Chains A and B, each alone.
Chain A
Amino acid sequence: MNFHLKIWRQRDADSAGQLEDHEARDIPPSASFLEMLDIVNEGVTLRGDEPIAHDSDCREGICGTCSLTINGVPHGNFKAGIATCQLHMRTFKDGETIYVEPFRAKAFPIVRDLIVDRSSLDRIIQAGGYVSVRTGSAPDANALPVPKQSADLAMDAAACIGCGACAAACPNGSAMLFTGAKLSQLSLLPQGQAERGQRAVAMVRQMDKEGFGNCSNIYNCSAVCPKEISASFIARMNREYVLSGLTAGLSNNPTRGNGE
């Protein structure tokens, strides 16, 4: 298969960028999108030019490194539940023109070409996306039963791979699906109760501070999410946030848990 590519090139965060034309020739239909770029980059290198910088690692949809906006859509597909690395060329039309850009969001500055800096997501986790448990201090794992339904729902949320496609797909550049997923996971489990209130407030505040926008119920986030994480976790996050404010006001104890 052959494709005409329009690829975003940008030397670094401070330079201006532009779309550059590249031809992808003799691409096997079973090649992944990243393998197609590998083939293009081999050609670019042999011509003595600098290859197109793009991030990827596991290439099996779990590490969250790859982050391309393809024809305007983060990971290239609505409702497919895949990361860029799981997109195959057989899903494109032969001869098609394909636009390849980085994930675009205010909180994701461009590093080079198609690579963005997503450390803002790490800082949201730093604000409270954990259970404070010192190594070696845990009780027996079966000491506390967790209803299967809660554990399963927590796992649905925990499946997030932290790629940031949610924010890149959102017109507001909102990371509420990312944040809501982590908050929901930990608030659904008994282990997360002790810090439940302060966690919600801290993570939401950090999210705002990083420059992520608000949710206006468009649900692009869920539609591009490689793990098809439900937007209902955003509602859960909002509830967590409101409840934590209430308990903090009533008891002056923001760490007190709220029974689910």
Chain B
Amino acid sequence: MSDLVLDSKIPSGPLEQKWDHFKLGAKLIAPNNKRKYTVLVVGSGLAGASAAATLAEQGYDVKCFCFHDSPRRAHSIAAQGGINAAKNYQNDGDSVERLFYDTIKGGDFRSREANVYRLAQVSTSIIDQCVAQGVPFAREYGGLLANRSFGGAQVSRTFYARGQTGQQLLLGAYQALERQIALGAVKMYPKTEMLDVVVIDGHAKGIVTRNLVTGQVSSFAGDTVVLATGGYGNAYYLSTNAKGCNVTATYRAHKRGAYFANPCYTQIHPTCIPVEGDFQSKLTLMSESLRNDGRVWVPKSRDDKRQPADIPEGERDYYLERKYPSYGNLAPRDISSRAAKEACDDGRGVGESGLGVYLDFADSIKRLGVDTIRERYGNLFDIYRTITGEDAYQRPMRIFPAVHYTMGGLWVDYNLMSNLPGLHVLGEANFSDHGANRLGASALMQGLADGYFVLPYTLPVYLASVDKKKASYTTDHPAFKETEAAVNAQLQRLLSIKGKRTVTSFHRELGLLMWDKCGMSRSEAGLREALQKIPAMREEFWQNVNVPGSGDCLNQSLELAGRVADFLEFGELMCVDALHRTESCGGHFREESQTEEGEALRDDANFAYSAAWEYKGYGAEPELHKEPLEFEKVHLAQRSYK
């Protein structure tokens, strides 16, 4: 284990002025020189599309890649609830300072102060930008923007577009991107999956991709590579992520030298529709904005099989209101999820499986009328009815926690650059802003902050630091040929096994193990067991997986096989990280480290750092590098939402 300290390149000066200082002192690239730089943007969700569009506007030569048929399909589109910004339009005491503090505290004091402060600062510009693009945010009758409160906050700072905020923000970024495509400033490569990063003289200088329609493996050279490829929640097989979400781009960059930070920080979202059966392919989130007007409860007594309406008020346990009187049903995600698990572990869960709790709107409907509730959440109630066949206006919803977001990701410095020079990482793919737990409505904020307002300023730091004449390569460089050969070899290997098990069966097996041993709560024994089982599972995969068909055409089994192969390695890294972090913090709950009341107990003396793991070879123990977290502004405190 190395204690090599990572240089996070945080600018000097007081926290409030760091970003302004940075911008003032930052290198610029002259307009006539920008077009000489090729930027390869991988991923075109909120972070990737906003970055690609903005960099193209600035004059860079941008190539953008996505595995979907259109950039509009990225999973950012599924974010329902909203986007935070410190506008204080509601005059309820919000400020940059408060958004910063809420985010740091929400992340259980495991994020980098300087990044989070900058995030809170640029949050206001995001709303301006999106409104100017024609994003139809909810408005009040006076025509001004409406806001709502959201999990983990006591102010109303969340902007929203019905229950489709992610969709509207993504379409705004997508439209900006399409405009640049039409202008010829961005060359878009849809249905193209990145399968490796090309490293030359220690710098990321290109990528190798596979065209998912023709099967063609190709190389692209650039002056820098930007990964905006999302999170790794599908390591659990079942999650609220889209089916296509995967860790391949970031994990393969990791194998090329980029450190992976805090992979054990995963977020379990408290309000999802419970699992129905083993055929199920994904879980559906019900926006936690529902918790503004819904009350969470379970029966007070165990194994109470009565219909919810038959359980009198006095026999219900509104456990969030009971345990956390000041935040009540708006307690942060990690806390709400664990509380639901506790209630179900105690035998008081509802629904056939007993793995569910009620989210009840009866009081709000009585107070506000059914029309108001329909206006606020109509589409969510519709989704719920479509999936379960139940009417939540009449009876409480059943919800249960599900894997939703991953705070860990590739380690980046203040400039959003990985330790691998030339590799920039944005959005959920990086580890930077959410610490050990992300607050609601902050993912959209971070994705767009990174893409619209941070990378366009920080990218020149790297570009100006490199001698353009010496460090420009074409795909004729042998490194491209070698990387392409490695990619082709892996594809051929997958196709040649023709074993007896489907790719999905391995994915499901890994997912169940991860959920059991590295899910809502983790223990040393469980993690050690997982670390025994995963390598065996991986061995079997490479002996016995069946990937039908060939590689020279559209082959969805082959696509999935490559992604699952990466999850089978990456799952191990998640467990290694979870095992090493013997404290509990945010979404990482170690059973060995809890307060008397069963809350997560941090160990600031030993774990106030980000853990960045270096790849040491297939199956080898990764090496730990630490970035100590220094808090200049906030005082580390036991998080309390009571």
Contact = CB atoms under 8 A, between A and B. Distances in A.
A23 interface: no
A202 B65 CA distance: 26
Contacts of B452: 135-136
B75 A58 contact: yes
Interface stretch (B169-177, B330-338, B355-363): B169-177
Interface residues of B, number: 82
Contacts of A38: 279, 281, 504
A42 B504 contact: yes
B143 A145 contact: yes
Contact of A133 (B132, B140, B167, B279): B132
B164 A130 contact: no
B142 A60 contact: no
A142 B548 contact: no
Interface in A166-190: 185-186, 189
B122 to A, nearest CB: 10
Contact of B277 (A30, A42, A144): A30
Contacts of B68: 57, 63, 65
B504 A50 contact: no
B70 A126 contact: no
Given A141-B87, A155-B161, A111 B190 contact: no
B281 A145 contact: no
Contact of A56 (B74, B133, B145, B243): B243
Interface stretch (A116-124, A207-215, A248-256): A116-124
Contacts of A49: 548
A160 to B, nearest CB: 9
B278 to A, nearest CB: 9
B87 A158 contact: no
B620 to A, nearest CB: 32
B181 A28 contact: no
A60 B142 CA distance: 34
A128 to B, nearest CB: 9
Interface in A42-88: 42, 45-46, 48-51, 53, 55-65, 81-82, 86, 88
B72, B285, B387, B504 pick with most chain A CB within 10 angstroms: B72
A88 B277 CA distance: 14
A138 B134 contact: no
B73 A65 contact: yes
Interface of A is mostly: loop
Contacts of A162: 70, 72
A129 interface: yes
A126 B178 contact: yes
B557 interface: yes
Contact of B387 (A65, A86, A191): A86
Contact of A11 (B75, B125, B383, B553): B553
Given A46-B546, A63-B73, A131 B279 contact: no
A87 B243 CA distance: 17
Interface in B263-281: 276-277, 279-281
B53 A51 contact: no
Interface residues of A, number: 78
Nearest to A27: B279
Nearest to A87: B386
A260 to B, nearest CB: 14
Contacts of A98: none
Given A146-B139, A162-B70, A135 B281 contact: no
B131 A35 contact: no
B78 interface: yes
Nearest to A130: B175
A126 B174 CA distance: 10
A158 B174 CA distance: 13
Nearest to B143: A145
B129 A64 contact: no
B136 A158 contact: yes
A118 B78 contact: no
A135 B129 contact: yes
A112 interface: yes
A197 interface: no
A125 interface: yes
A127 interface: yes
A138 to B, nearest CB: 4
A185 to B, nearest CB: 7
Contacts of B137: 141, 151
Given A12-B553, A139-B132, A158 B242 contact: no
B557 A119 contact: no
A146 B143 contact: yes
A210 to B, nearest CB: 14
A42 B502 contact: yes
Contact of A111 (B167, B213, B383): B213
B69 A191 contact: no
A129 B178 contact: yes
A189 B135 CA distance: 9
Contacts of B162: 155, 159
Contacts of B168: 155, 158
23 contacts: A27-B279, A28-B277, A42-B504, A45-B502, A45-B546, A46-B546, A51-B557, A53-B556, A55-B69, A57-B73, A60-B285, A62-B164, A63-B77, A63-B242, A88-B387, A121-B70, A122-B71, A126-B179, A133-B132, A142-B87, A145-B144, A151-B136, A158-B171
Shortest 8 CB-CB distances between A and B: which pairs? A145-B143, A138-B132, A130-B175, A126-B182, A138-B128, A155-B136, A141-B131, A57-B242
Given A65-B69, A111-B554, 10 more contacts: A28-B277, A30-B277, A35-B281, A57-B73, A112-B554, A121-B70, A125-B175, A135-B456, A138-B129, A148-B141
Interface of B: 50, 53-54, 57, 68-75, 77-78, 87, 89, 125, 127-134, 136-145, 161-162, 164, 167-168, 171, 174-176, 178-179, 181-182, 190, 213, 242-244, 276-277, 279-282, 284-285, 382-383, 386-387, 389, 452-453, 456, 498, 500, 502, 504-505, 546, 548-549, 553-557
